[in-house]
Amino acid sequence: MFSADFSVQHITLVNGTYKALFDLVNEKDYFVITTNVDHQFQNAGFDRTRLFYTQGDWVDNRRGVE
């Protein structure tokens, strides 16, 4: 169980698989639908406007979308 102070903003590790996937689609017209809530797609370089989090975004839900 996470404490109320847990923040996914502090997760900065980028999995090599996400970076490899980004390299494959970077120059293409892509859209990602994901259940991830840890921002690994964004951390690997994916455009936030091309991502849909089916379970929501914990950071956006805590502070409001910027």
Q: Report the domain count for the chain.
A: 1
9 within domain boundaries: no
26 within domain boundaries: yes
Give residue 39's domain range: 16-61
3 within domain boundaries: no
22 within domain boundaries: yes
Sign of CA dihedral 4, 64, 34, 13: negative
At 23, the amino acid letter reads D
Whole-prediction pTM value?
0.64
**Stretch 7-16: mean pLDDT, rounded?**
58
Say if residue 16's pLDDT is above 50: yes
The confidence band for 55, taking pLDDT boundaries of 50, 70 and 90, is confident
Cα Rg, the chain, nearest whole Å: 13
CA distance 41 to 45: 7
Say if residue 27's pLDDT is above 90: yes
27 within domain boundaries: yes
54 within domain boundaries: yes
| Per-residue confidence (pLDDT) for residue 2, from 0 to 100 | 45
**Stretch 22-44: mean pLDDT, rounded?**
91
